[in-house]
Structure 1
Amino acid sequence: MKRKNMGTELFKFATYFVDAVLVVFSVYLSFLIQFKSDPPEYNITPFFNIIPFIVLAYLIYMYVFGLGDLLKKGIGETIYSIGITVVALFITTAGITFFARGFAYPRMVLVISTIVQFVILSIWRVVIWSISRILHGVKECLIVGEGSLEYLTKKILMKQRDLYNIKYICGSKSKSLDQYVANVDVVFICNDVELNVKQKIVDSCLTSRKSVYIIPGIYEIAILNSKLNRADDIPMFKVKKLGLTLEARIFKRMLDIIVSLIGLILTSPIMIFVIIAIKLSDGGEIFYKQERVTINEKKFFVLKFRTMVMNAEKLTGPVLAGESDPRITKIGRILRATRIDELPQFLNILFGDMSVVGPRPERPFFVEQFKNEIPDYKYRTIVKAGLTGLAQVLGKYSTTPEDKAIYDILYIKNYSILLDLKLILQTIKIMFVRESSQGLKDDLPLNKLIKNTNAEITIDKMED
């Protein structure tokens, strides 16, 4: 297993190294194309001078936009990530050449190299993706859980059948649990499994060197990144408090002011166009104010572009928007899909009600509802609500409130300025990914989904 892990790491390193070589080669090839195989030294010298910066910028964007994941992403998402990466690299390279006074670096080469990089990297990464899938194979797996067991099973059946073959699903009190663990390669443990059962499964998997995945609850999140401490010679973990230090709050506020001002300036043409479009469409109000909850359950009015018909909740009361909600206007669907409806919230950030990154602000009605249904939901308001966050980058509109709460708590637990910057860049990536902005929808019942996918699964939820 140790040798296999070393091989995996070497494979990743080799992939990233070839990535960097291809990025640099693409620029050099673009010079050859532009100057018909004979680029003047005056023009190509600025390129040689900034090669280390190009490579560094690429590696950063590769990490931020998810190209470090060689296995879990589909081909479409991988190619999309490459597109975002090379565009960001194009902008960065233009900036580097400007500040390095490399004015002899031809702008046409920048354009050509972006196209060449996209094509070459896409072909290379499709090959790597295929090799990664072959090396990984389809792993036999077990899912252990109670109420949340069916939800996880459906997710794997719909999204990751080419990686995992579900052989068993069972309750945590099944008499055959040990046998099931012994007969699979991978075990998934839901967050509603009792701690003593989790410990037993993890111990078995560590002994037999099997992969185990645990959906985290507040206990797992609390001990995450804990520092080793001791009482005399007794080892112990010190659980880090949730929340931001005074210094972190100061730096975060400074970042909020800078980003909100830049955001308002850069998006002002888009917002002017949206204002005209909304007004021309139905003559109604342009903006929509709604009471939301932020840090320490303080209430404020969030500002958004109106995406629904006027007085949409006059008869229905507060309800979550669905994927095909008839109350959403034609323009509203476009604004929601691209998240442009959220742009006025830069004003909320500038005024201090919100942060750029943080848990999305929810309405008081739903906050009270979720607090009663989800024990850990109360931790979300330890920090300011945000325009974007971990739940928005990694989740979807259809992600359950429970999973969104986990993402939000994980963000609070792992907060850093670098994490905020990463999430801001990743938000740009997901703005045009339709799946991330879909509304809530009901999936097929598990038994029907199993039948439709021809899956052969042993189902054991016995508790005796």
Structure 2
Amino acid sequence: MLNSKFYGFIQIIVDVLLIHAGYLIAFYIRYLGEFPEANFPSYIRLIPWISLLAILMFFIYGLYDTIYKRWIEIFSSILWVIGFIFAGNTALSFMLRQFAFPRTVLLMAVFVHVILLSFWRYWIWKMAKKTHGKKTVIIVGKRDEAEFLAGKINESTPDLYKVIGVVVTVDSILSEKKDHCFSILGEINSLESVLIENNPSVVFVCSDLSKEEKVEILSKCLEYDCDINFIPDFYDTLMAQAKILQVDDIPVLYVNSSILPSADRTAKRVMDIFVAVFGLLLTMPLFLIISLLIRLDSKGPIIFKQERVGRKGKIFFLYKFRTMVDNAEKSSGPVLSNLDDVRVTRIGKLLRHSRLDELPQFINVLKGDMSIIGPRPERPFFVEQFNESIAGYDYRHRIKGGITGLAQISGKYSTSAEDKLRFDLLYAKNYTPLMDLQILFRTLKVLLIKDKAS
């Protein structure tokens, strides 16, 4: 399998070799087939550092686990990896006093790297999908969620999975019939015969089933040697992070109720202040340009303030550059925005696509309302709705909301509130400073992908 440790090691080796091949080709082109003694040794001395930097960036951008990713996500990651390698090597040549390393070679290597790594990574991606093959899938759950999940799988991973039908609960069988494009193969109590007749490769189990139903489905799938994927609910997500302990001679699963101990909160706050101050200083010219463009494009304030729910349910005003017409919800009331929202101005579309409308939230971070990384804070109106309809939704308010988060780099703009919550819970239970750093770097990748989550 192309996702095994051996092939992962091979990918690392080839990635590093291609990075250095890019520099050698750039030298060859720049100096017409020669490797001048005055310049080439500077590159030789930097080889270990270049290699380490390249491996680090490939890991940060998740390029050793790509089979379920779209090519646009992989290509965007490659571009950012190459960009950081260029910036890092430029800095290293100064820090290690290797001034003879030609800047022209560094710049030319960028274009060579884009070509070499794109072709190599595209081939690896295609080979991984070919090795995986198209597996037949059965969805088990209540009818609405089962059909929604079936459509999602067929649409997003048509080269990996093919949904051949759904198995539903008795109550959803008796519900009002709706048009659908998937066969209802039977009820849960007939799952055994469905597995025998259809012999699926994988069974996906929806989150809306009871624990007893899930246990029964699991036992049947194991009995008939069928892989199984559970869509986690609130309980499943928290239990997945449980530690196995022993109390005397009793095995127990321990779930820590606390999130972010004081030491972690302090470290996170220090990182927030550093990134926010650096971000404001770096983007100050953009603030002036964007403010002028908004003023010229439409009437209304430059900065848009909106109530959001923060840590422990505290209400605060979130700042953004205004991207909609003034008083956009005057007649409609609170309405969730979408990709083709007609209320968005011309400049607003550009700001939203580039995520530049979020820049004023650095001020929220300095005020302590938000963190750089965390669950995206939602409006009180929708929080009240989600608390009633989604189990465990309020749990995400145990930590500060963020400008970006795991849901933003992993999901899409259209990702449901339930799925975003799953990402938020996984982040809350798995927080480390390294995870924050990884999310921060991967957020840059999202800027190049139109349909990523907001």
Alignment of 1:27-176 (within 5 A): 27-146=23-142, 147-172=144-169, 173-176=187-190
* Aligned pair partner of 2:324 in 303, 308, 325: 308
CA displacement, residues 320-341 of structure 1 (integer Å, 9 cap, x when unaligned): 1122222111111111111111
Write the distance in 2 (CA, Å) between the matches of 1:206 and 1:91. Answer: 50
Alignment partner, residue 461 of structure 1: none
Q: Which moved more, 1:389-398 or 1:200-209?
A: 200-209
Alignment of 1:265-414 (within 5 A): 265-414=281-430
Instruction: Tell me, yes or no, if the aligned pair for 1:242 and 1:413 is still in contact at 8 Å.
Output: no
Instruction: Tell me, yes or no, if the aligned pair for 2:351 and 2:357 is still in contact at 8 Å.
Output: yes
Q: TM-score, normalised by structure 1?
A: 0.89
Q: Which moved more, 1:220-229 or 1:379-388?
A: 220-229
Instruction: Tell me, yes or no, if the aligned pair for 1:185 and 1:210 is still in contact at 8 Å.
Output: yes
Q: Which moved more, 1:388-397 or 1:34-43?
A: 34-43
Alignment partner, residue 8 of structure 1: 4
Instruction: Tell me, yes or no, if the aligned pair for 2:238 and 2:425 is still in contact at 8 Å.
Output: no
For 1:176, what is the secondary structure of its paired residue?
A: helix
For 1:365, what is the secondary structure of its paired residue?
A: helix
Q: Which amino acid aligns with 1:396?
A: K
Q: Does 2:193 match 1:179?
A: yes
* Aligned pair partner of 2:21 in 25, 29, 41: 25
Instruction: Tell me, yes or no, if the aligned pair for 1:396 and 1:435 is still in contact at 8 Å.
Output: yes
Q: Which amino acid aligns with 1:271?
A: F
| Deviation for aligned residue 1:319 | 1.0
Write the distance in 2 (CA, Å) between the matches of 1:205 and 1:40. Answer: 64
* TM-aligned CA distance change 1:70 to 1:307, over 3 Å: closer
Instruction: Tell me, yes or no, if the aligned pair for 1:140 and 1:185 is still in contact at 8 Å.
Output: yes
Q: Which amino acid aligns with 1:169?
A: V
CA displacement, residues 142-188 of structure 1 (integer Å, 9 cap, x when unaligned): 11111421221111111111101112211255232123345111111
CA displacement, residues 339-394 of structure 1 (integer Å, 9 cap, x when unaligned): 11110000000111100011111111111111011121111100011100111111
Q: TM-score, normalised by structure 2?
A: 0.91
Q: Which amino acid aligns with 1:252?
A: K
| Percentage identity across paired residues of the two chains | 39
Alignment partner, residue 183 of structure 2: none
* TM-aligned CA distance change 1:302 to 1:70, over 3 Å: closer
CA displacement, residues 52-105 of structure 1 (integer Å, 9 cap, x when unaligned): 222222222212223222422233332222112111111111112121111111
Alignment partner, residue 448 of structure 1: none
Q: Which moved more, 1:55-64 or 1:112-121?
A: 55-64
Q: Which moved more, 1:412-421 or 1:193-202?
A: 193-202
| Deviation for aligned residue 1:288 | 0.6
Q: Which amino acid aligns with 1:418?
A: L
Q: Which amino acid aligns with 1:174?
A: I
Instruction: Tell me, yes or no, if the aligned pair for 2:409 and 2:453 is still in contact at 8 Å.
Output: no
Write the distance in 2 (CA, Å) between the matches of 1:244 and 1:76. Answer: 34
Write the distance in 1 (CA, Å) between the matches of 2:431 and 2:16. Answer: 30
For 2:316, what is the secondary structure of its paired residue?
A: strand
Note the residue ranges of structure 2 that are not aligned, 5 or more in a row.
Answer: 170-186
Write the distance in 1 (CA, Å) between the matches of 2:415 and 2:453. Answer: 10
Instruction: Tell me, yes or no, if the aligned pair for 2:415 and 2:453 is still in contact at 8 Å.
Output: no
Write the distance in 2 (CA, Å) between the matches of 1:46 and 1:307. Answer: 48
| Deviation for aligned residue 1:206 | 4.4
Q: Which amino acid aligns with 2:265?
A: R
* TM-aligned CA distance change 1:192 to 1:242, over 3 Å: farther
| Deviation for aligned residue 1:217 | 1.3
Aligned length: 434
Question: Structure with the greater relative contact order (CA < 8 A, sep ≥ 6): 1 or 2?
Answer: 1
Alignment partner, residue 243 of structure 2: 227
Instruction: Tell me, yes or no, if the aligned pair for 1:242 and 1:412 is still in contact at 8 Å.
Output: no
Write the distance in 1 (CA, Å) between the matches of 2:205 and 2:81. Answer: 34
Write the distance in 2 (CA, Å) between the matches of 1:206 and 1:413. Answer: 29
Note the residue ranges of structure 1 that are not aligned, 5 or more in a row.
Answer: 439-464
Q: Which amino acid aligns with 2:210?
A: E
* TM-aligned CA distance change 1:242 to 1:205, over 3 Å: farther
Write the distance in 2 (CA, Å) between the matches of 1:355 and 1:434. Answer: 24
For 1:229, what is the secondary structure of its paired residue?
A: strand
Write the distance in 1 (CA, Å) between the matches of 2:229 and 2:48. Answer: 38
CA displacement, residues 199-256 of structure 1 (integer Å, 9 cap, x when unaligned): 2333444455543221111222222232221122222221122411000100000000
| Deviation for aligned residue 1:127 | 1.6
Q: Which amino acid aligns with 2:411?
A: G
| Deviation for aligned residue 1:12 | 2.4
* TM-aligned CA distance change 1:208 to 1:43, over 3 Å: farther
* TM-aligned CA distance change 1:233 to 1:437, over 3 Å: closer
Write the distance in 1 (CA, Å) between the matches of 2:396 and 2:29. Answer: 54
